[in-house]
Amino acid sequence: MAHIVSTRPLIDEGLSGVRDDHTLTVCDPPDGSTRSVDDLIALTDGADVLLSVLADPITEELFAARPELQMVAQYAVGVDNIDLDAAAAHDVAVTHTPDVLTDATADQAWALLLAAARRVPAADRYVREGRFERWETTLLMGTELSRKTLGIVGMGRIGTAVARRALGFGMEVVYHNRTRANPTVERQVNARYVGLDELLKTSDVVSLHCPHNEDSHHLLDAAAFANMKASALLVNTARGPVVDEAALVDALANGEIAGAGLDVFEEEPDVHPGLVEQERVVLAPHLGSATTGTRTRMAQMCVASITALLEGADHVPHRLV
Ligand code: DGY
């Protein structure tokens, strides 16, 4: 019987598979606060498996302090909070939850895109505040999406799902990726491969779907915003640090771009105050995968990976290290 520690409560239904055979300790941080490495070291006393979320800093220090740890099962597709090289050096397996959250995250990108284009939060506030007194010809004017260009940065699973949805909106899709997508995928979603500069210059909406790593850190910086159309919208459901948030605030304030829909932030859970002040920015607290079905399937995937590893299976699903 192994000891599994989850750093956050997860949807219980998804965890049933592991409760019968192992000891599961579910932690609940006070006030939902972010865990430090020291907190994680304290929580993992005697743990064989750590069930982590993207806000948990999984570092060399943790692996060194807990040599008995066999596995980190990450309840997310992104693993930029985990030092994968350190995990490998300490012989700790790492798994994640790809695929199951693709559609939910693509939907969230579109929700933010539409909300920013048609000013949904501002309109909602307007009505709630009792300001709707008559129909007006120029009230809360937005932007239609048909025939506009959507630029997708990162044409992996989620980027492709976002592009597929654009077909229904009659948008032209261009994309940039480290490597060009398979021609069948390009045909299916009617997307054209371009360089990042061209994408930034020609897109009416730029939507980010690349992982955060050394190459993509601050990929969208002051120079990138200066390249974009003044009418453009930025959507980020990838990772906050892909965008230089201070440069984004300046670009919005100076009218270099028109608005943004942001699900992720550079220093989560903190949000740059300059973003909160901007009426044309729609904000969400990292909800890409936040549907009951998706979060349940993510928990089930973690359980499948944990069970396979603990049973010594030849193949541990969704293993990265
Ligand atoms: C992920 O899985 O990486 C998302 O950002 C959170 O669900």
pLDDT tens figures, 106-130: 999 999 999 999 999 999 999 999 9
Q: Which segments of the chain have a pLDDT < 70? A: 32
For the record, the structure tokens of 137 come out as 């010809």
Within 8 A by CB and 6+ apart from 289, the residues are 76, 77, 101, 104, 105, 295, 298
Domain boundaries, the chain: 3-99+291-310, 102-283
Q: Would you tell me how many other CB atoms lie within 10 Å of the CB of residue 265?
A: 21
* pLDDT at 33 (0 to 100): 74
* pLDDT at 32 (0 to 100): 65
- Which residue CA neighbors atom 6 of ligand 1 most closely? 76
Backbone angles phi, psi at 95, to 5 degrees: -125, 165
Q: Which residue(s) pair with 6 in the sheet?
A: 26, 51
Q: 102-283: same fold as 3-99+291-310?
A: yes
- Catalytic (active site) residue 286: yes
| Structure confidence by residue, pLDDT tens digits, 13-34 | 888 878 888 999 999 887 767 8
Specify the ligand 1 atom closest to the Cα of 264: 5
CATH T-level topology, domain 3-99+291-310: Rossmann fold (3.40.50)
* pLDDT at 17 (0 to 100): 77
- Catalytic (active site) residue 212: no
* pLDDT at 20 (0 to 100): 83
- Specify whether the backbone of 119 is left (phi greater than 0), alpha (psi in -120 to 50) or beta: left
* pLDDT at 92 (0 to 100): 98
For the record, the structure tokens of 311 come out as 């049973």
- Which residue CA neighbors atom 4 of ligand 1 most closely? 76
Cα distance between residue 286 and residue 262, in whole Å:
8
Q: Which of 239, 295, 297, 318 is catalytic?
A: 239
* pLDDT at 262 (0 to 100): 99
Quote the ligand 1 centre to 276 CA distance (angstroms): 23
Cα distance between residue 172 and residue 64, in whole Å:
50
Superfamily name and number for 102-283? NAD(P)-binding Rossmann-like Domain (3.40.50.720)
Residue count of the chain, please give it.
321
Residues at CB less than 6 angstroms from ligand 1: 54, 76-78, 101, 288-289
Specify the ligand 1 atom closest to the Cα of 237: 5
